[in-house]
Amino acid sequence: MKLDHFGADSELHKSGFDYMYDMENSIKTYEDGPTSTQSEFDLKNYNVINQIEYIDYTLQNNPSNFFVKQDDSNLVSLKRLLSVCIDAAKSGGAQLISVRRNFDLKKIWGVLSTEQADNPVVVGRKRSLQAITHKLKHSFPNIKKSNGFKVEPYEGRIQIDNVSNDVLVPSNNILIWVDSLDAEREYHYNLLDYVTTMVCVAVKGQPVIGIIHQPFENFTKWGWVGNGISRDPYPVASEPHDVSRPLSIIISPRHFVPVKSRIKLSIGYEIDMIAAYGAGYKVLQVTEGKADALFHVNDVKKWKICAGNAIMNAENGKFTNVDGSNIEYGDSYNITHKRGIIASILDHDTFLKLTSFEIFNTESA
The binding site for Mg(2+) consists of 179, 181-182
Nearest CA among 92, 108, 100 for reference residue 188? 100
Burial label, 240 (beta-carbon count in 10 A; 0-12, 13-18, 19+): exposed
Distances (CA, A) of 173 to 23, 89, 113, 137, 202: 8, 21, 45, 17, 8
CB–CB of 200/177 below 8 Å? yes
Question: Radius of gyration over alpha carbons of the chain, in Å?
Answer: 20
Cα 339 to its chain centre, rounded Å, is 19
Contact 99, 124 (CB under 8 A): yes
How far are the Cα atoms of 117, 220, 238, 248, 257 from residue 126, in angstroms, in the given order? 11, 21, 34, 35, 34
Selection from 66, 5, 69 nearest residue 31 by Cα: 66
Amino acid making up residue 355: T
Residues 6+ apart with CB under 8 A from 79: 160, 163, 165, 166, 167, 224, 227
- Candidates 144, 150, 104, 138; CA nearest to 124 is 104
Q: What is the spatial distance between Cα 139 and Cα 154, in angstroms, rounded to a whole number?
A: 4
Please, are residues 187 and 100 in contact by the beta-carbon 8 Å criterion?
yes
Q: What is the 3-state secondary structure (H, E, C) of 172-226?
A: HHEEEEEEEEECHHHHHCCCHHHCEEEEEEEECCEEEEEEEEECCCCEEEEEECC
Binding residues are 179, 181-182
